[in-house]
């Protein structure tokens, strides 16, 4: 299995539409020769509209509601995201889970709505520091995957992002062994849940930077990155993407 790697930038609540458009234009121009990596920009909703990027560049929303329309103040539906030309939707990010109290049941509804709208969910899972220290990492991953992916027809179009909560925005990266073990667990759990789920991307996220990208992308089971802080800066984001491209080219 040699999946085409994904480098996705989750901008969180950063960049106005103008700043975002200018960032994307500069970055795409610097990466025009990229051939072996898919690059995703995930701006806030306001920056999604009219973000016109040609493959291998794609855009993603950072969240959505599962209903098609209705009295849900502050929410955005899948068809609204579709019309902006996005291909992916990040779901279950740890900030959605821990800051905004999203439940696995909500996340499951969102995953289904996104797939029904022919978009691709990037489902985030990961343990907190307390859970890791209590030896519950695999248990947490299993529970998040089991509930988040409950009663689906297939996992064909799903991307999973393993993001240990303690590594997000902290500058602390999970070490290679921790990443490999977690990715192995994710794959094992997916296989148990959906035996035909053999070619699913599992991305790593949590303090990915130009300085650690080369090492992390070579950890077995890592098919790319979901990047926060370092995705906001043209130089670091392009440098990480180039590193992933170079490593991928060596394997072809
Ligand atoms: P950082 O790369 O800033 O740690 O954020 C990771 C993340 O949350 C991406 O979704």
**Ligand 1: does its nearest atom lie under 6 Å from the Cβ of 169?**
yes
Sequence-distant (≥ 6) Cβ neighbours of residue 84 within 8 angstroms: 48, 49, 50, 51, 59, 61
Q: Measuring CA to CA, which residue among 61, 44, 46, 71 is closest to residue 117?
A: 61
pLDDT mean over 91-116: 97
DSSP string, 135-173: T-HHHHHHHHHHHHTTT-S--TT-EEEE--GGGTTSSPP
Indicate whether 1 belongs to any domain. Answer: no
**Is residue 141, in this structure, part of any structural domain at all?**
yes
Question: 12 C-alpha vs ligand 1 centroid, how far in Å?
Answer: 9
As for how many domains the chain has, the answer is 1
Relative to the CA of 209, which ligand 1 atom is closest? 2
* Res 31 pLDDT > 90: yes
116 falls within a domain: yes
**pLDDT greater than 60 at residue 33:** yes
Residue 1: is its pLDDT beyond 70? no
61: in domain: yes
Q: Tokens at residue 217, please?
A: 């992308």
pTM greater than 0.85? yes
Q: Is 38 within a domain? A: yes
- In sequence order, the 6+-apart residues with CB closer than 8 A to the CB of 161 are 8, 90, 122, 123, 124, 125, 202, 203, 204, 205, 226
CATH value at residue 85: 3.20.20.70
Query: What residue owns the CA closest to ligand 1's atom 1?
Result: 228
Evaluate whether residue 42 is within a structural domain.
yes
Enzyme catalytic residues: 93, 163
Tens-digit pLDDT profile for residues 52-66: 899 999 999 999 999
The predicted pLDDT at position 51 comes to 85
188 part of a folded domain: yes
Residue 108: domain span: 6-251
Cβ of residue 168 lying under 6 Å from some atom of ligand 1: yes
What integer pLDDT is reported at residue 156 of this predicted model? 81
**Ligand 1: which atom is nearest the Cα of residue 168?**
4
SS3 94: helix
């Amino acid at each position: 299995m040699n999946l085409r790697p994904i480098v996705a930038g989750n901008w969180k609540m950063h960049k106005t539409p103008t700043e975002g458009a200018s960032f994307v234009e500069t970055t795409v121009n610097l990466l025009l020769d990229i051939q072996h990596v898919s690059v995703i920009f995930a701006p806030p909703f306001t920056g999604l509209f009219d973000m016109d990027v040609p493959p291998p560049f794609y855009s993603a929303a950072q969240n959505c509601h599962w209903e098609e329309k209705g009295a849900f103040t502050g929410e955005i539906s899948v068809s609204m995201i579709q019309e902006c030309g996005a291909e992916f939707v990040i779901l279950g990010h740890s900030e959605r889970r821990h800051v905004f109290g999203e439940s696995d049941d909500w996340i499951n509804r969102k995953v289904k709505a996104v797939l029904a709208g022919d978009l691709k969910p990037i489902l985030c899972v990961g343990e907190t520091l307390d859970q890791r220290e209590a030896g519950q990492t695999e248990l947490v991953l299993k529970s998040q995957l089991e509930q988040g992916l409950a009663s689906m027809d297939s996992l064909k179009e799903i991307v999973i992002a393993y993001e240990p909560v303690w590594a997000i925005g902290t500058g602390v990266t999970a070490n290679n062994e921790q990443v490999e073990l977690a990715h192995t667990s994710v794959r094992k759990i997916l296989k148990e849940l959906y035996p035909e789920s053999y070619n699913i991307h599992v991305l790593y996220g949590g303090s990915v930077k130009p300085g650690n990208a080369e090492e992390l992308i070579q950890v077995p089971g890592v098919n790319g990155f979901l990047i926060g802080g370092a995705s906001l800066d043209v130089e670091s984001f392009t440098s990480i993407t180039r590193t992933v491209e170079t490593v991928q080219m060596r394997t072809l």
